[in-house]
Amino acid sequence: MREEKGMTSSGSREREIAIVGVAESDEMGTVPNKSSLQHHAEAAHNALADAGLSKNDVDGVFTAGFSTMATAEYLGIQPRFTDNTSVGGSSFVIHVAHAIAAIKAGYCEVALITHGQAGRSTRGRVPGDPNLPVAQYEAPYGMVGQPINYALACSRYMHEYGEDRARQAMAEIAVSTRKWANLNPKAAMHDTPMTFDDYHDSRYVAWPFHLFDCCLVTDSGASIIVTTAERARACRKEPVWVLGAGEGHDHNLISMMPSLTSLIARETGPKAMAQAGISHDDIDLTMIYDSFTYTVMLTLESLGFCGPGEVADFVAGQRTAPGGDFPLNTNGGGLSYSHPGMYGSFLLVEAVRQLRGEAGDRQVHRKGTNDQNPQISLVNGTGGSLSSTGTVVLGTG
C-alpha cells in the first residue's frame, strides 16, 4: 500500500491531494480539422487513461475560456461541482487550488482540469465589447494586443535596469528554451534549432520584442486529474502531491499595473512555498509561463530566485538549458513547444511527467544527483497583461 501521507524535504506537510493523470490532446501544432472542444476531449480522455480512470469517475469539471457547461456536455459528464474561473493563462494553475478546496469541502472527489483551443486554426479578429475599459482607455491609443502590452512593460524594465542586460536575458531564455524543445518530440519546434544569431536576426514584432521573444500560436489541449490520497491509491501511477498553492491578480489593464517590473508572483510564490514548507534550494525543476521572454524574466525575479534587475546574471551561460544547473521549462515552453492561447495546463503536465521520470531525453534529476528523479517542482502561471498569477508546488514521495 502506498503511503498517502508523508513529508516534504523539509519535513512539514502531509500528502492529502494528488495529481494522478496528465496528458495533451492527440495532435498539436496546426490541426485545422479539429475544434477546441475536440482538443478538450482528447486531452481529457488521455489524462483519464493515464490515471486509470474513466469519465464516469469525474464529478468536478474545471476549465477556462469555454463554458464548463459546454465542455461537460461534450465530454458526457454531469459534474457535482463546476468552476469556470477565467483569469487568462494562469487559470488552470489556479484551478488546482480550487480543486483542492472543492475536494476538501466534499463537493467533488475526482476533479478534471481541462483546456483545449484551436488557437492557430481559428485565428481572426474577434469583435470586443466596446464598453470594456480596455476598449475605451487603451485600444484607441494603440494598445491592442499582448505583444504590445508586454513590450510596453519590457521597455520600462530596460529603462530601469539597462537595455543591454535585458536583451542578454531575453536571448538566453529564448535559446535555452528552444534547446529543450529540440529534445521534445511533441514540440512544434522540435526539428528547428536556434542560435543566438538566429534570435538577434529575427524580425521585430513589437519593439523591443523579436519574433523569438514571443510565444507560438498553436492548436492543442491539456488536462490534469486531481483527487484524494485515498483515490490515488487505486490509480495507475504514483501520485504527484500538491504541497502548496497561491493565487492572485492586481490589475486588468496594463496601464493600471502597479509596477511594470514586478509581478504579483511576489506574493503567490512565497505563499505556495510556505505552505509546502520549502525554500528555493529545495526546488529541482521550475516551470514558468513563457508567453514572452520578458514574462520569464519578471517571474524569476518576482518569485525571489534573484533580485530586481538581476535576471541577466541569473540565466547567463545557458544556465536554464539542458545540462545547466537550473532546469527551466523543460518541454520547450510556450516559446517553442505549444501555446494555443492559454498555456498554464501544459506547465502542470510537464512538471508531473518530470517528477514521475517520464520525460525521456529531456529528463532532469534531483539536485546533486545524476540518476534520481526530481522531487520538488514549482509551477507558476501568468495570465492577462501580466495581471494574474497562480503558483503551485508539487512533490513526490
Distance, in Å, from the CA atom of 297 to the CA atom of 262, rounded to the nearest integer, reads 10
The span from the CA of 269 to the CA of 223, in Å, is 23
Which residue in the list 150, 294, 337, 343 is annotated as catalytic? 337
Kindly write down the DSSP assignment for every residue of 41-102, as one continuous string: HHHHHHHHHHHT--GGG--EEE-SSS-HHHHHHHHT---SEEE---BTBTHHHHHHHHHHHH
Whether 146 contacts 251, CB under 8 Å: no
Q: Is the dihedral of CA 119, 327, 352, 268 positive or negative?
A: negative
Radius of gyration (C-alpha) of the chain in whole angstroms: 20
State the catalytic residue, choosing from 150, 157, 199, 289: 289
> How would you label 217-251 residue by residue, b for 16+ Cβ within 10 Å and e otherwise?
bbbbbbbbbbbbbebbeebebebbbbbbbbbbbbb
Helix (H) or strand (E) holding 300: helix 293-302
Residues linked to residue 29 through DSSP beta bridges, in sequence order: 219
For the chain, the maximum distance between any two Cα atoms, rounded to a whole number of angstroms, is: 62
- Locate 191 and state its grid cell: 526539428
289 catalytic residue (yes or no): yes
Please list the active-site residues. Answer: 289, 337
